[in-house]
Structure 1
Amino acid sequence: MMNSANANSFRRRHEAGNEFVPPADVQIVTSGGRSIPAHSAILASASPVLEKMLYRCRISWNSQRIIRILGVPCDAVLALVQFFYSSREGEEAMEKYGMHLLVLSHAYQVKRLKRWCEEGVAARLRAEVVVDVLKLAKLCDAPWLYQRCMRLVAKDFAAVTQSEGWRFIQKHDPLLELEILQFLQDADQRKKRWMREKRDQEMYQLLSEAVECLQHICSDGCTVVGPHDGKPPSRSKGPCKFHTCGGLQFLICHFATCSRKLSPGGCTHCKRMWQLLQLHSSICDQSNSCKVPLCK
């Protein structure tokens, strides 16, 4: 039901006119037979669809143009007309009629209002209504809102499956159900690929640090292993800047004394050391002067 104070105030300002504003020359008829006065120049400048309708509409007995906007609450139409006049967004109108305003803004090609409605509806998304909003986003060609809905579905799918909207599309819209399930599968694959790439990056980082640490140990020595020239290790040094230095020094000491490194099957620790030496030698560009063993 239209707020009587707002409707009456709007009617008095626009129907009668004043010395600065001419009287309204258009009546917008809403559901229930209610009407909202407006000016054709304002409507035509705000919406190309209304501009065409104004040229085609029939002239009534009192020479006023009549435009019918039906199927939505009267207050939603009033909020639309008030937006035409002020271009200001009202949070109260968005809270009550956000989805209706999204439909109206799409139908009458009011781009600024449509962007505002997409943002407002997205900010109020909940798992219980996200399927309904998703259908609306598809119908209103709102891809940004569609993606926001899909992300919420993927995030809280268990709650979405308990909603009336989900049960409805399972019975009446299998294509949308399939589209949602396909999105979830793709999202899961993207997540797995991202996690795999993240693990690979972490491994590359560890290997890079290990190769750099190997050069540091063989060139400078550290707390347990001395440098290539045979000097004793510097046990008085503080904590090494390389996190892998302690483990790598242990691996070097083990590799030097292990009797299984050349036996069939070999030693797991020695295999890791061989791999690190091979990795170093494959990227070293100073093999003639390199102090890492077996580099050349």
Structure 2
Amino acid sequence: MYHMEETRNTAATATPTISGDRMSSHFQFSDKNSLPKPDVQILTSNGLRIPVHTGILASVSPVLENIIDRPHKHHSSEKIIPILGVPCDAVSSFIQFLYSSRCSEEELERYGIHLLALSHVYLVPQLKHMCSKSVGQRLTIENVVDVLQLARLCDSPDLYVKCMKTLSNNFKAVEKTEGWKFMQENDPFLELEILKFIDEAESRKMRTRRHREEQRLFMELSEAMECLEHICTEGCTAVGPSDMDPTNQRGPCNKFSTCEGLQFLIKHFATCKNRVNGKCSRCKRMWQLLRLHSSICDRTDSCRVPLCRQFKLKMNRQKKGDETLWSLLVKKVASARVMSSLSLPKRKREELRETIHDHGIRNFRI
């Protein structure tokens, strides 16, 4: 696409040329009188010659600088740099950017793909960034495969990722396009790359979904621990400490949806005849909640929750065996509890701490 041709002045051609006077107005220079006479010409695909200045081209593009600095066979010859394979107007917009560092939205919309290729070939990073952003904003189902191939060739990672995400989100529609069918026949490695990206994207979504579900479960368990302490210290509606006056019933708390379910579980646990032999699934759940609380609780002597101290003593006597999963659960719930407590105002946290330490009874009133 780029090399310098030299033709003798005597071998004049009939190709159209932008004159030096017209060039200033064509490229919108602020001070055309300050520019020296053009000393090189850009040759486009349709034969148009654009006179330009080697100093400006060399200062913006290192590739053009290397082309200009090549030794010439004939010192008296006319210098020509052909830029072929793209529309003439795209070349004009490219040259205008080299002079002014500006490119209109209309030009980016019409010639964004061509300008991206030119900016990559001639190492003009500012224009390349502008084109990548503009082309990415105009992605469609029909052109996404073609733009993806261009992004790979032009080493444009941002545009590449955006194309991949568009493909992943609209894969069924993209599969029906001519661009996809052509790519399948001519570039199977790119097809494999796309399918691999889609598979990894789905795996990430599944991991994220699973992580959110786990966090939701840990937050629910943390809330259950708070409700258990709340019931054992202050009482809630019909369930509370055994020393609380039955006529002094408290109203529903702000987490009553969780607290109510826990109250039903406590009522069942207190009256169930199978809670010790392990035949009752609801009682098993209550035993697990009590054990989980004991694993998290750091107030062994003042804790109001039943069996907290007993569970701690039992866990201390047991040898460290297959407790990895349980320890991980305790760690996750404790972390969720800390995050939940940090979301409370400071006054609420202090009131909750004082309420818990002011009581010392270990039984329910049901």
Q: Judge same fold: TM > 0.5, yes or no.
A: yes
* CA shift in 2, pair 1:179/1:73, >3 Å: same
The residue that corresponds to 1:110 in the other structure is 124
Is residue 265–residue 282 contact of structure 2 (8 Å, CA) maintained in 1?
A: yes
The residue that corresponds to 1:288 in the other structure is 301
- Describe the superposition over 1:99-142 as per-residue Cα deviations: whole angstroms up to 9, x where unpaired: 11110000000000000011000000111111111111111111
Is residue 28–residue 68 contact of structure 1 (8 Å, CA) maintained in 2?
A: yes
Q: Distance in 2 between matches of 1:10 and 1:36?
A: 9
State which drifts further: 106-115 or 272-281: 272-281
- Describe the superposition over 1:233-272 as per-residue Cα deviations: whole angstroms up to 9, x where unpaired: 74352543454111111111111112232345x2222221
Cα RMSD for the two superposed structures: 2.3
The residue that corresponds to 2:135 in the other structure is 121
Q: Distance in 2 between matches of 1:56 and 1:30?
A: 20
- TM-score normalized with structure 1 length: 0.91
The residue that corresponds to 2:362 in the other structure is none
Q: Distance in 2 between matches of 1:67 and 1:157?
A: 42
Q: Distance in 1 between matches of 2:21 and 2:113?
A: 25
Structure 1, unaligned stretches of length 5 or more?
Answer: 1-6
The residue that corresponds to 2:212 in the other structure is 198
Structure number with larger C-alpha Rg: 2
The residue that corresponds to 2:227 in the other structure is 213
Per the TM alignment, residue 228 of structure 1 is displaced from its structure 2 partner at its CA by: 4.8
Q: Distance in 2 between matches of 1:239 and 1:102?
A: 62
- Describe the superposition over 1:64-87 as per-residue Cα deviations: whole angstroms up to 9, x where unpaired: 421000011111100100111111
Query: SS in structure 2 opposite 1:27?
Result: strand
Is residue 59–residue 65 contact of structure 1 (8 Å, CA) maintained in 2?
A: no
Q: Distance in 2 between matches of 1:244 and 1:207?
A: 10
Q: Distance in 2 between matches of 1:292 and 1:18?
A: 87
- Describe the superposition over 1:201-245 as per-residue Cα deviations: whole angstroms up to 9, x where unpaired: 111111111101101110111102022534427435254345411
Per the TM alignment, residue 11 of structure 1 is displaced from its structure 2 partner at its CA by: 5.9
Is residue 174–residue 180 contact of structure 2 (8 Å, CA) maintained in 1?
A: yes
* CA shift in 2, pair 1:173/1:13, >3 Å: closer
Q: Distance in 1 between matches of 2:162 and 2:92?
A: 28
Q: Distance in 2 between matches of 1:156 and 1:148?
A: 12
The residue that corresponds to 1:3 in the other structure is none
Q: Percent same amino acid at aligned positions?
A: 53
Per the TM alignment, residue 61 of structure 1 is displaced from its structure 2 partner at its CA by: 8.4
Code of the residue aligned with 2:173 in structure 1: it is A
The residue that corresponds to 1:12 in the other structure is 22
Trace 1:237-248 onto structure 2 (pairs within 5 A). 237-241=251-255, 243-248=257-262
Q: 1:276 aligned to 2:286? A: no
* CA shift in 2, pair 1:127/1:9, >3 Å: farther
Code of the residue aligned with 2:139 in structure 1: it is L
Per the TM alignment, residue 193 of structure 1 is displaced from its structure 2 partner at its CA by: 0.5
Query: SS in structure 1 opposite 2:179?
Result: helix
- Describe the superposition over 1:147-168 as per-residue Cα deviations: whole angstroms up to 9, x where unpaired: 0000001111011101111101
Is residue 102–residue 117 contact of structure 1 (8 Å, CA) maintained in 2?
A: yes
Per the TM alignment, residue 94 of structure 1 is displaced from its structure 2 partner at its CA by: 1.0
* CA shift in 2, pair 1:62/1:27, >3 Å: farther
State which drifts further: 35-44 or 187-196: 35-44
List structure 1 runs of 4+ shifted beyond 6 angstroms. 59-62
Q: Distance in 2 between matches of 1:249 and 1:10?
A: 90
**Could you tell me which of 150, 155, 160 is aligned with 1:141?**
155
Query: SS in structure 2 opposite 1:56?
Result: coil
Code of the residue aligned with 1:292 in structure 2: it is V
